[in-house]
Amino acid sequence: MAFCAYCGNQVVEVSFAPCPRCGRPSNGAAPGTVAPPLPGKSGGSRTAIIVVIVLVAAFFLIAIIGILAAIAIPNFVRSTDLSRRRITIARLRSLATACEAYATDNNHYPKAWNVGELGPLLTPTYLKEMPSEDGWGHRIRYETWTKDQDFDQYAVGSPGKDGTFERVSLKEYPPETVTQNIAADIVYANGNFVQYPDPTQPPR
């Protein structure tokens, strides 16, 4: 049997719990005293451990995301540029093919000074739709000039990724110029590409 240390009332056990009769701790402790936390059961320590675990997991997740982004973003940009380059090459080639067909029927290349003037001469007979922009949304350039006979030379070109032509006229590009610069101009003249970025080489 257990009794309150203050009033002698019978209690279930002697502890820090208040006595039903006197309201004081039945074990004789000073009034208002509460039981100390058991070793290893501290709520503050448990909370601190949880916070540390959460922070470590968050830093680890951020590091993983950063690594994946560092790998994925450059590959995505390169893939996008390659796709736009292919689109540009296809559009220039189709435009040049139409100019060649026009010359076969008329003994000279279309007498136009830009793509806007070229459109009515080629569509719909030689082209269903007139490509006026390259894969990056830049305006395609068309030029024709005379070498041996009237308007027997032509060129179509794209300013490339940076949107700026490197030369004043398409006539100024030397033939068969292969570059590793993915921002380089792409020029097709008289049946061949005279400047183009080589997709098999690493970009600069």
Looking at residue 199, its pLDDT comes to 53
As annotated, the residues of the chain forming the CATH 3.30.700.10 domain(s) are: 46-197
Distances (CA, A) of 19 to 9, 13, 24: 8, 10, 5
Class of domain 46-197: alpha beta
Using a pLDDT cut of 70, give the percent of the chain over it: 90
pLDDT in tens, 2-60: 877 778 777 777 787 888 888 788 777 777 776 666 655 555 678 888 888 888 888 88
> Taking the model in full, what pTM does it have?
0.62
Q: How confident is the model at residue 64 (pLDDT cuts 50, 70, 90)?
A: confident
Looking at residue 202, its pLDDT comes to 39
Distances (CA, A) of 127 to 40, 70, 84, 86, 189: 83, 43, 21, 19, 18
CA atoms of 35 and 41, how far apart (whole Å) = 13
When pLDDT is averaged across residues 118-136 and rounded to a whole number, the result is 93
pLDDT in tens, 155-195: 999 999 899 999 999 999 988 777 777 788 999 999 888 88
In contact, 71 and 78? CB cutoff 8 Å: no
Looking at residue 40, its pLDDT comes to 54
H or E element: which one contains 117?
helix 115-122
Mean pLDDT of the chain: 84
In contact, 84 and 136? CB cutoff 8 Å: yes
Looking at residue 39, its pLDDT comes to 59
